[in-house]
Structure 1
């Protein structure tokens, strides 16, 4: 489920028999729930709109889901092999890694 460039992580609570979700990929916790998919979509939109309004009221920018910057650690041997592979393909390590991640996540 997406809205205004943000995605929602949706789950089902069998005990309460409700769908619930939260905006994914941000640290601020913005949750919502409903009994049906249609109502859940409306609750997501309402929760997002409330989040944006609350941020504006307190003078804070809403968090963006992704910046495009990825930093992670890998074993030195993996780093070496990736750098060599990128060089052999005539690409920077960033270009090569973006292509590999794009293919793996598609």
Structure 2
């Protein structure tokens, strides 16, 4: 079992909050704090892909 996932060269953490009953994670190895939280693993993966895509769009616009 992995505790990370990869997308477009970015690594995201995967954790489970038992007290909240949700999966949480953060994009690793970047200066910005980008986190995500979802009720199930499939939604968490989709959210991770989305935040990475948004981050790349912002980086492209800001140069």
Q: Confirm or deny a common fold (TM above 0.5).
A: yes
Q: TM-score, normalised by structure 2?
A: 0.82
The CA RMSD measured in Å over matched residues stands at: 1.2
The secondary structure found in structure 2 opposite 1:12 is strand
Structure 2 unaligned residues grouped into runs of 5+: none
TM-score, scaled to structure 1: 0.51
More strand by share: 2
Q: Which has the higher contact order (CA 8 A, sep 6+)?
A: 2
Instruction: Tell me how many residue pairs correspond in the alignment.
Output: 59
Match of 2:52 in 1: 48
The structure with more radius of gyration = 1
Output one character per residue of 1:49-81: Cα deviation in whole Å (capped at 9) or x when no partner.
111112223x13xxxxxxxxxxxxxxxxxxxxx
Taking the aligned partners of 1:20 and 1:38, their CA distance within structure 2 comes to 12
Hey, which of these two has a bigger chunk of helix by percent? 1
Structure 1 runs (4+) deviating above 3 angstroms are none
